Amino acid sequence: MASTPGEAMETGGGSPPPGEAAEESPPARPAGVLRRRPGVRAGRAGARTGRVEASTGRPPEPGRAGTRWLTAAFALVMALTWVAPPYPAEQALHHSLTAVALLALIPLRRHYALPPASLAAVLGFLALHSVAARWMYSYVPYDEWSAALAGVRLSDVFGWERNHFDRLVHLSYGLCAAPVLVRYLRDRWGLRPLPAVAAGVELVLSTSALYELLEWAIAVTTSPEIAEVYNGQQGDVWDAHKDIALACLGALAAAAVMLLRSLREAAAGSASRS
């Protein structure tokens, strides 16, 4: 028996009455195509702030504001050391390695963004080197500075007979370079704490030795006056050995701190999981 139009509408069959538009159903998605959920675009944008950017394949730069402040502070120190320099030619010679270090940061940033702490260590050491280069290392007036601030001369207090600012710079090299190298080896190459620390100390030791070989090459290929200006031995025949030892000592001190921190973090992680 044929159904009436009303019955057809009630049972879901037939056509709608004239004048009423049929409700359009959404088009079917092709097989294998997933529905885009709300927030996916934001999630993808947030993912670009993670450890590695998908578009560049390198970590994003953390703390850009801090990076700008550190760079500005270093540029200010560098500029101040060039105000009426007492030894401009010799200062420029010492800054040849500063230029090499700063230029090396450019290709490094293409595949690894230095954390703010590492950048602070690098620029802090270069700032200390810039101060030393202004006075050719051998004539940094720290005795005058200490006398003006505290009324005593450091050389009189410790019985020093030579200017020891170069010793401070070499010690600072180990203290500043080791944490930067260890952080890089762990982040970029995935080394565990102990191998990364050992490799960092070895790199500080080897680069210190290479620098002393550079000073030796300058000493045997230039005039004695230029060699003394650049090397700053101040009559100490064991100057190179002491410089390497101080850099290694600084690296070992920094390595001990980093290992203790890693052990403490591992212990805290084990306690939280238990």
pLDDT, position 27: 55
**DSSP letter string over 48-115?**
TTSSS-TTTSS---S-HHHHHHHHHHHHHHHHHHTSS-SSHHHHHHHTHHHHHHHHHHHHHTTT-PPP
Q: Give the number of other CB atoms < 10 A from CB of residue 39.
A: 9
Give tens-digit pLDDT for 217-263. 888 887 777 777 778 888 888 999 999 999 999 999 999 999 999 88
> Which structure tokens are listed for 85?
């320099």
> Which structure tokens are listed for 260?
């203790």
Give tens-digit pLDDT for 56-82. 444 445 567 888 999 999 999 999 999
Enumerate the domain spans of the chain.
61-266
pLDDT, position 28: 56
> Which structure tokens are listed for 211?
């620098």
Report helix, strand and coil shares of the chain as percent, to nearest 5.
65, 0, 35
pLDDT, position 209: 96
pLDDT, position 269: 81
Across the range 122-145, mean pLDDT stands at 96
- Name the residue with higher pLDDT: 22 or 208: 208
Predicted model pTM? 0.75
> Which structure tokens are listed for 184?
């890089």
Weakest mean pLDDT among 73-87, 177-191, 254-268: 254-268
